Amino acid sequence: MELKNDLLLRAANGEKVERTPVWLMRQAGRILPEYREVRSKMGGFIELVKSPEFACEVTIQPVDILGVDAAIIFSDILVIPEAMGLPYQMVESKGPWFENTVKNVHDIENLRVADPKEDLNYVLEAIRLTKKELNGRVPLLGFAGAPWTIFSYMIEGHGSKTFSKAKKFFYTQPQAAHQLLEKITLSTINYLKAQILAGADLVQIFDSWAGILSPDQYREFSLPYISKICDAITEVPVTVFAKGAYFVREDLGKLNCRTIGLDWNMDVRESRNLIGAEKTLQGNLDPCILYADYKTIEKETKKMLASFGPSKHIANLGHGVYPDIDPDKVKCFINTVKEYRF
Amino acid sequence: MELKNDLLLRAANGEKVERTPVWLMRQAGRILPEYREVRSKMGGFIELVKSPEFACEVTIQPVDILGVDAAIIFSDILVIPEAMGLPYQMVESKGPWFENTVKNVHDIENLRVADPKEDLNYVLEAIRLTKKELNGRVPLLGFAGAPWTIFSYMIEGHGSKTFSKAKKFFYTQPQAAHQLLEKITLSTINYLKAQILAGADLVQIFDSWAGILSPDQYREFSLPYISKICDAITEVPVTVFAKGAYFVREDLGKLNCRTIGLDWNMDVRESRNLIGAEKTLQGNLDPCILYADYKTIEKETKKMLASFGPSKHIANLGHGVYPDIDPDKVKCFINTVKEYRF
């Protein structure tokens, strides 16, 4: 089906666009009262992720309510460890929690490579449903966590300030670490290919914990696996968002992907120089600016747009939108982008 | 009293040294069984900070046990908010907790500028005692938090992943924010000057949450106050450690201070180029390397030393040492530095 609004895909492909496309990381969910209303009638977060009808409904909400140029499937990066054999719980106001974690080679051998049709069909079903319901209004984005970020949860069992267990694993069991990263990578390639087959028009890889690693570790334990995924996904444009990985921006520029996400710490001009002219950049308004008044939001959004320039840019925040942001402030951000002309 | 080992002060001053001096952030405390033994007989963390005899004892422990080239006074950056009128508790395995936080201009007006003799005499007493006990063996370092980091605790009331309350305050009440930052800065200058009078041979400013701010915010709300402190402290060399503030390394190079600390994400050569040739650099081994085997620790430590070169370098980790590190691994790091020759 032809898309009525393909701005984001054209921008990702480096083509000319009438205006900069815009969406928000974490736009599906927690910020919208409409989401919270639907959610309050249902079960926990993971049950919702596993309900294709619910996922479809809340994926489309920001398209209807906020007017974004893309939908992103309502899901979670941690469906991959679960599909590999490590189930988790989402503890209210605490985050994810794994009862079992990976401690040694034996644990790694007991994990399977995810088979999306078998283990993740609920996501594929949600994508199929959403594509149908969207009816070509905007592109639908799929996503997965980067192998290092997924690895860190499988070793730590939950979030962490230092991720010292995961990094200790790199220093003490490097071979086992590579073995696990390889297994996660294969699972992720299978998963993203299945998402694309189900209808995803672009896929984004989130390396949420990229900024924890030293440059050497990042080049050994994260980049090669992201690179493998980028090489394997040839069907649709790929976006890589490696939060905090300012120290490998030149390397990111060489990945076989179309778009690089920038966080709000990354200077736009410097990033463009390091990443090169060819890639599209995505980002990077400080999510905290949406706490300010409308005038400040407009001013800062325009400043950001000017710094990226008229092409090869997808407007977004430099991180997921915070849960307590007023949706009207989000609309102000989106409308400022949509009305801006170079 | 003349120092028997003044390697660190000479390195800080850019003078030639026979070998690179070495110490560790967080060396006083949690990693040493000798500390835990003393501590187990006593009260909570804050009581210990307030006991000059205890602080003196555990400040000297790493000099005796680990052989570091400097002692750093056992204390806490949050003594400043307390001295200004916001007491806090240290909740085991959770971190600091303030019952009252700053919400508006009224709250700021109710805070006082810290008078160290009145409010922080226990730290000064600990410094005097330690200087006496050290008997000139190595220099004694004093320290304080950077105003933005202290500000963030006073607004949030505890640690945070996003520091959204503190950043929201910048966007919604910028004038009040500057008023509070100014008050913290004055308190900090008073405090550091009192530490120096009591005997501190060098002072370090820790901007632990530097990496949370956007470059624009950092330049508006953090750097100017660090700069004020650096300008005010003329008695001894000053070290600034702004963790995660890779995006202002050029600006840090212009501060009126002697040493800039680097975290483990910061590439040494790039940092030297950005900061300039004049300053001494401190750091920056990934603290997680101390989880590895002895051979890896030696190899990585030597690699780090080579990358900094023979002068204007103070060896350290790129962050505080983690609590579960084996002291023998710390010794391996220290001895590798001490035995290394260019």
Contact B291 A162 (CB under 8 A): no
For chain A, which residues make up each domain, given as ranges?
7-339
A311, A11 Cβ separation under 8 angstroms: yes
Contact A288 B170 (CB under 8 A): yes
Contact B288 A264 (CB under 8 A): no
Question: Which residues of A are less than 8 Å from B215 in CB distance?
Answer: 265, 267
Supply the DSSP symbol for B213. Answer: S
Question: Which residues of A are less than 8 Å from B286 in CB distance?
Answer: 167, 214, 217
| Among A114, A111, A102, residue whose Cα is nearest residue A145 | A114
User: Which of A220, A288, A299 to mutate: most B Cβ within 10 Å?
Assistant: A288
CA-to-CA distance for B312 and B324, rounded, in angstroms? Answer: 30
B101 touches chain A (CB under 8 A): no
Strands B71-72 and B140-145, bridge-based pairing: parallel
Contact A167 B217 (CB under 8 A): no
CA-to-CA distance for A256 and A207, rounded, in angstroms? Answer: 16
Residue of chain B with shortest Cα separation from A164? B288
Q: Angle at the Cα of B217 (from B216 to B223), degrees rounded to 5?
A: 95
**Percent of the residues in chain B that have a pLDDT greater than 90, as a whole number:** 92
CA distances for A264 relative to A20, B28, B267, angstroms: 18, 35, 20
The distance of Cα A292 from the centroid of its chain, to the nearest Å, equals 25
Q: Give the B window 255-314 contacts with A, CB below 8 Å.
A: 264-267, 286-289, 291-293, 296
| pTM reported for the whole predicted model | 0.93
What local confidence, expressed as pLDDT, does residue A219 receive? 97
**Cα Rg of chain B, angstroms:** 19
Contact B265 A211 (CB under 8 A): yes
Contact B214 A293 (CB under 8 A): no
Q: List chain A pLDDT tens, one digit each, 342 residues.
A: 789 999 999 999 999 999 999 999 999 988 999 999 988 888 888 999 999 999 999 999 999 999 999 999 999 999 999 999 999 999 987 899 999 999 999 999 999 999 999 999 999 999 999 999 999 999 999 999 999 999 999 999 998 888 989 998 998 899 999 999 999 999 999 999 999 999 999 999 999 999 999 999 999 999 999 999 999 999 999 999 999 999 999 999 999 999 999 999 999 999 999 999 999 999 999 999 999 999 999 999 999 999 999 999 999 999 999 999 999 999 999 999 999 999
- Where would I find the beta strands (DSSP E) of B172-312? 202-207, 238-242, 259-261, 280-285
The ipTM assigned to this model is: 0.88
The distance of Cα A108 from the centroid of its chain, to the nearest Å, equals 25
- Where would I find the beta strands (DSSP E) of chain B? 71-72, 88-91, 95-98, 140-145, 202-207, 238-242, 259-261, 280-285, 313-317
Name the residue facing B292 among A172, A215, A319 (closest C-beta). A172
Question: Which residues of A are less than 8 Å from B168 in CB distance?
Answer: 288, 291-292
Contact A292 B267 (CB under 8 A): no
CATH number of A7-339: 3.20.20.210
The position carrying tokens 């594509």 is A131
CA-to-CA distance for B301 and B284, rounded, in angstroms? Answer: 9
Question: Which residues of B are less than 8 Å from A318 in CB distance?
Answer: 214
Question: Which residues of A are less than 8 Å from B293 in CB distance?
Answer: 171-172
User: Which of B171, B274, B329 to mutate: most A Cβ within 10 Å?
Assistant: B171
CA-to-CA distance for A264 and A244, rounded, in angstroms? Answer: 9
> Of A153, A191, A225, A340, which one is the catalytic site residue?
A153
The distance of Cα B20 from the centroid of its chain, to the nearest Å, equals 19
> Of B26, B249, B258, B272, which one is the catalytic site residue?
B26
CA-based nearest distance A63→chain B, Å: 26
Q: List chain B pLDDT tens, one digit each, 342 residues.
A: 789 999 999 999 999 999 999 999 999 988 999 999 988 888 888 999 999 999 999 999 999 999 999 999 999 999 999 999 999 999 987 899 999 999 999 999 999 999 999 999 999 999 999 999 999 999 999 999 999 999 999 999 998 888 989 998 998 899 999 999 999 999 999 999 999 999 999 999 999 999 999 999 999 999 999 999 999 999 999 999 999 999 999 999 999 999 999 999 999 999 999 999 999 999 999 999 999 999 999 999 999 999 999 999 999 999 999 999 999 999 999 999 999 999
For B41, the token pair is: 């007989």
What local confidence, expressed as pLDDT, does residue A30 receive? 87
> Of B35, B88, B153, B246, which one is the catalytic site residue?
B153
> Of B10, B35, B69, B76, which one is the catalytic site residue?
B76
At B52, give phi and psi (nearest 5°): -55, -40
Question: Which residues of A are less than 8 Å from B167 in CB distance?
Answer: 286, 288, 291
Residue of chain A with shortest Cα separation from B265? A214
Quickly name the fold that domain B7-288+311-323 has.
TIM Barrel (3.20.20)
Q: Give the B window 152-191 contacts with A, CB below 8 Å.
A: 162, 164, 167-168, 170-172
Asked about A26 being catalytic, the answer comes back as: yes
Residue of chain B with shortest Cα separation from A319? B162
> Of A69, A76, A201, A251, which one is the catalytic site residue?
A76
